[in-house]
Structure 1
Amino acid sequence: MTETERTFVMVKPDGVQRGLVSDILDRFENRGLKIVGAKFMRLDRELAEAHYAEHEDKEFFEGLVDFITSGPVFAMVLDGQDATRQVRRMMGATDPAEAEPGTIRGDFGLDLGRNVIHGSDHEDEGANAREIELFFDDDELVDWDKIDGSWLYE
């Protein structure tokens, strides 16, 4: 069986408020990605600032923190072959106006500041591990075998 990887994904407050969590989760599961961790939570300011630390010096930082702490989020860790790249493609362009139809942001996103979902960056090798560690303790991640694994990967 091929090596898999884990990736961090979060349905943002606008996605939660609009009742899109199950639709988004269905897309990932239908693709063959496996949930190894999930939690419904509300970010406090400290966690939000740590999550967006790379943007701390940018003018939009405060707005990001205010938005992500404005309501509950659904954080998850998905596992699968090339999971980070798959999730990024499924999410679509950051700006929903530029996202292709069929992507999560293309189908559900309305505004750059309300783009429904966050996923770790596949071009930043440390992003996944950092974000997973920020949101999940090791004992909150579950290793398990999906019965259809042999049908998904060579």
Structure 2
Amino acid sequence: MQKTLVILKPSAIQRGLVGEVISRFEKKGLQLIGMKMIYLTDEILEEHYAHLKDKPFFQRIKESMKVSPVIVLALKGVDAVEVVRKMAGITNGREAQPGTIRGDYSMSVQENIVHASDSPETAQTELERFFSTTELFNYPQLMHPNIYANDEC
């Protein structure tokens, strides 16, 4: 089973979409193994978005991500990183396909509701950035046999 990180951005918090977005992940069959609300600092944003630090829009990202607290989620499932990325849709909400989170709820490149890890390696790094080992939970998912075939896990 793969683990991945999702950040519900201030745009999700401010628009009251938290329950809707989490519900979509749960309905898909992804297991919620960690969740907390936090304020992001400049330090953590510079670490998290280090690959964008030299871009002209980096300051806009930092300002946007500090408008309100965010909710960080740890999700688990078969191919969880890819599944979550497909559910999120492409970055630009205006271009994202209807049926995706961004396609249904976003009209922006920045105010696009969620951040999702882009690879299993990135997911591991991001999960370690936002969660201690005691904040991630390993528990049986009782509906597991109804979500996966017995040879898929």
Do they superpose with TM above 0.5?
A: yes
Give distance in 1, aligned partners of 2:52 and 2:125: 15
Give distance in 1, aligned partners of 2:81 and 2:131: 17
The equivalent of 1:37 in structure 2 is 34
The equivalent of 1:9 in structure 2 is 6
Give distance in 2, aligned partners of 1:115 and 1:129: 23
Q: 2:144 aligns with which of 115, 130, 149?
A: 149
The equivalent of 2:124 in structure 1 is 129
Unaligned runs of at least 5 residues, structure 1 = none
- Contact 1:15/1:21 (<8 A) preserved: yes
After TM superposition, the runs of 4+ consecutive aligned structure 1 residues lying more than 3 A away are none
Give distance in 2, aligned partners of 1:84 and 1:9: 10
Map Cα deviations across residues 8-42 of structure 1 (whole Å, 9 max, x no partner).
00110011000000000000000000000000111
Pairing 1:104–2:77 present: no
SS at match of 2:40: coil
Give distance in 2, aligned partners of 1:25 and 1:8: 12
TM-score by length of 1: 0.94
The one-letter amino acid of 1:29's match is E
- The number of residues matched between the two structures is 149
Pairing 1:64–2:46 present: no
Displacement of 1:126 after TM fit? 2.1
Displacement of 1:87 after TM fit? 0.4
The one-letter amino acid of 1:48's match is L
The equivalent of 1:28 in structure 2 is 25
Give distance in 2, aligned partners of 1:103 and 1:69: 25
The equivalent of 2:73 in structure 1 is 76
TM-score by length of 2: 0.94
Bigger Cα displacement from structure 2, 28-37 vs 69-78: 69-78
Give distance in 2, aligned partners of 1:87 and 1:121: 9
SS at match of 1:54: helix
SS at match of 2:94: helix
Displacement of 1:67 after TM fit? 1.1
